[in-house]
Each structure stands twice: as C-alpha cells, then as structure tokens.
Amino acid sequence: MVQPDLQTVRLSNGKEITVHTHLFINNEFVPGHGPLIETINPATEEVICSVHSADEQDVNAAVNAAATCFKDTWRKVAPAEKARLINKLADLMERDRDELAILDALDNGKAFTVARDVDITDSIACYRYFAGWADKIHGKTIDTTFDKMCYTRHEALGVVGAVIPWNYPTMMAAWKFAPALAAGNCIVMKTSEITPLPAYKFAALVKEAGFPAGVVNIITGYGHTTGNYLSGHPLVSKMAFTGSTATGRKVMESSSTSNLKKLQLELGGKSAQIVCADADLDQAAEWACGGIFNNHGQSCNAGSRILVHESVHDQFLELFIKHTKAMIKIGDPFEEDTFQGPQISKAQFDKILNYIEIGKKEGAVVSYGGKRWGNKGYYIEPTVFTNCHNQMRIMREEIFGPVVAIAKFKTIEEAIDIANDSDYGLAGSVYTTNLDTAITVTNEIKTGTMWVNCFDVFDQSTPFGGYKQSGFGKELGKYSLQEYTQVKVVKILRSSKI
C-alpha cells in the first residue's frame, strides 16, 4: 500500500502541521519509486515522517515534464507574465511565512524566529527581485559592416537541474528557482534527503500561484542515486549545485560524461576574519561572533578562522567570548529567544565533536565551550579554540559547526598569507579603521566575497560565489542571470544595396 501524500506531524510545542511527502512532478504530488526516507527532528532525535524518494524513472519523469513544458509552453509565455507569476508566488509565501518557517525549524533545527525573520523573509525578497528582471533580459545590436545587421539574444537554457543542501532549505531553493524562472527556464530540483519538507510546501504554492505544469518539479533522494541521475541526464542543460566540494566534483564528473552541461557550483569554505590592531574591537568581536555562529556554524561561508593582531589578541578574545555568551541562547527551536538549535544530524553532530577532539590533540586550547549541550538532540556548545596555527586541521578543514579557531599575526602581510593559505576561497572579512588597509586586504585576499567591518551581510542584488575549490559561478544579482541564459548571435545580410 502506498503511503498517502499528506501526513500530520506534531511539533515540540504541541501544535500540529500537515506536510507533503510525495514527489512534485508536472504540478502533481506523486509517489516515488525509490525507498522511503525517514526525516529526523534534530532537536528530539525522533522521526518526523517518511518521504518518498525518486529513482531513475522518477527523475526521467520530472525532466521530461520540464522539457515538454519548456518546448510547448513556458518559453512562449511573455516575460511580463512570468514576472506576474513569480510575484504571485512571493505573495503566497508571504501569506504562509509562518508555516514555511515552522517547516524549516522542524526539519533543520534552526530557530523558528531566525527562519521566519531571516531565511523566509530574504527568500521572498529574492523572488520579488528576480521577478523584476524577467522582462529586462535584453540582447544588443552590434555594428559590423554596412550591408549586415547583427544582434544578440539572451535565451533560456531549457531544463535546469538543481541540487540544494540542508542548511538553508527554503533560501537555497530561492537562490536557484528565482533567477532560473526569471530567465525563462524550467527546473527540476532535488532537495536534501535530510530536509525535504519545506520544499514540498513551496511546491504546493507553485501550483496555487498558477505556474504551468512542468515549470517547477521537486524531488527528493540520495545524492549518489537521485542526484547522479539528475546531473547525468541528457535533457538537463545546466546543473546548479550547492554543497560540499567532494560532491561538487562528482556533479562535474557526471555532467561532463553526459552532455557537457553548463555548471554552477557553490561549494565549501574556510573563511578568514582578519582583526587589525586599529579595529573597533567591540564591533569586530560582535560581527565576528555572528560570522561563525550564525545558523549553528552550518554555513559554507562561515568565518571559522579568526586572525587577530598579536597586540590586541587578549582584549579581542575577552570581547568575543562576552558577545558569544550574550548572543547565543541554545534551546528548543520553537522557543522565542532561541538563537542556536541543534546540529542537523547525528552524523554531523559526531563529526563536529570529533573535530573538537582533533583540535585538542593538535595543541589548540578550548577557551570556551567544547562539549555537547544537554542530553537530548544534536546540540553542541559554541566552541572557541585559541593557540591555533594554520597547519592545524581545525584551521584548514571545513567543520561546518559552531567551532572557531583563533590565531595571532604580526603584520598585515602575514595575515594575508595565512588567509590565502587555503584550498577554499568563498568569503572573508577585515576589521580596521584604516581605509588603505581595508582596500589592500580586500584586493589581496583570494575569495569571492570580502566584507569590511561586518560579516554575513547578504542582499538579493549582490552576487555571491567562490574562488578556488569553493566553486565557480554567481548566485544572486544581475550576474546570476548569466548563469541561466546563453547568448545567441544573429547576423542578417541585407538584400538592398545603396
């Protein structure tokens, strides 16, 4: 007997919510042919429900639905109508903001207030921003020779495949869906198998908004099966992937051996925050604290290495720990004042605790935290390591948890060298009151984003993406539209001669 699509689940506060558990293909919730996957509440370690996963035939069905819709329907829809539909979707998300935030908090473990006020709010803004671009994607006319006319067209790619991670279930979907739809593509998205529930609520809103069947398709499954089928599918023209560098390599491989898809990869990071001797130390400590501990440290751009000038190290550390204590209230995601909920899973929980032990063995000093919090749920205290150097594993490897490593530097040149001595290049920051220092550091650090006297500040109009093994391609802003279009050149020989 096939498990019914709609399931009722209970929250920790006693309230109930109804969730979709089937795949969303061609505007319908349909059973999947892959194994059922249990999704776990990381705050309680209990099963929320089981969801259907997609096998190869389900991936084929989703991609074929998208390809048919693009060919027969979506590419013929006027850009202004696309904009209206995207704005309508944003309206519905605003109406159901609390429900989307509840599902983010339930499935992911993040604080409900953070999910509502940051993740969902920013996602709605993302759809509105790109709705404004839908009818403004233009080509150019080019003067060549007198007897010829030349112009360019910025055309949709067709079917876009997307794979999103578990750390921002609704927001990462928005970063893919919004520009893809505005540029005129149809899309098949695979959610993380760990956090599928918010995406299926979103799918119901897509249908309610009135999008043609096949424009948006959402499936769930494991990366090595469902994800591999999607990235290797010959009808998918582009893959947009956010996740680990190791998995990004596999996406590149399957894409290259199928049809040489266009790729956009946003991968791992080990971002450095540089605190100069002339910085406003209290301000720097507060921003640096958020830079690592936002979203429980589960962010690819997390500022997990803090490099502090030796002359202000002790003063900065005192302020940093003060702000950590003041900012971070650990607890049930549905309590109003919770800032940090549990880590996403038992596997991630164990990985982070193992890194804490590695740091101790390497000679780093735990100056704050370093232990499990409570006895139920995947909670870990915010952890501050000092006495660190850049050859330690906790300084080089992505931990993806609430763990920060602090090291000293003597000169700004040394700080730049340490920051650049990394396989990653996603983000970074510098705290200084000297404009020349700010310009020097931001110019020299090899990362896709540099913040000055702040961290983790995002905006829908600002592009985001990495250098080196943090990937390539840009999310957000006008730049991201280039990732979802291709340029065609048209040359016409004029028949008349003058």
Summarised one tens digit per residue, pLDDT across range 330-359 is 999 999 999 999 999 999 999 999 999 999
pTM of the model: 0.96
The percent of residues above 90 in pLDDT, for the chain, comes to 95
Catalytically annotated residue among 99, 266, 398, 475: 266
Q: Choose among 159, 165, 187: nearest CA to 261.
A: 159
497 pLDDT tier (thresholds 50, 70, 90): low
């909670």: which residue's tokens?
379
127-151 confidence digits (pLDDT tens): 999 999 999 999 999 998 888 899 9
Average of pLDDT values for 237-252?
96
Residue 57 above 90 pLDDT? Answer: yes
218 DSSP 8-state letter: E
Cα–Cα–Cα angle for 349, 379, 100, rounded to 5 degrees: 95
Helix (H, G, I), strand (E, B) or coil at 290: helix
- Cα dihedral: 219, 222, 226, 231 (round 10): 100
Answer yes or no: is pLDDT of 2 > 80. Answer: no
In this prediction, residue 65 has a pLDDT band, given cuts at 50, 70 and 90, of very high
User: 457-477, pLDDT tens digit by residue?
Assistant: 999 999 999 999 999 999 999
pLDDT tens by residue, 81-103: 999 999 999 999 999 999 999 99
H/E segment holding residue 265: strand 262-266
pLDDT confidence bin for 495, thresholds 50/70/90: confident
pLDDT (0 to 100) of residue 146: 82
483: annotated active-site residue: no
Half-sphere exposure of 238 (CA within 13 A, CB side): 24
| SS3 assignment for 168-211 | CHHHHHHHHHHHHHHCCCEEEEEECCCCCHHHHHHHHHHHHHCC
Q: Is pLDDT above 90 for 436? A: yes
Q: What is the pLDDT of residues 207-221, one digit of tens each?
A: 999 999 999 999 999
Give CA–CA dist 227/230, Å, rounded. 5
| Mean pLDDT value of segment 430-435 | 98
Report the pLDDT value the prediction gives residue 496, as an integer from 0 to 100. Answer: 64
Q: What is the mean pLDDT of residues 397-422?
A: 98
| pLDDT for 1 | 66
Alpha helices in 362-492 (DSSP H): 393-396, 412-420, 435-444, 477-481
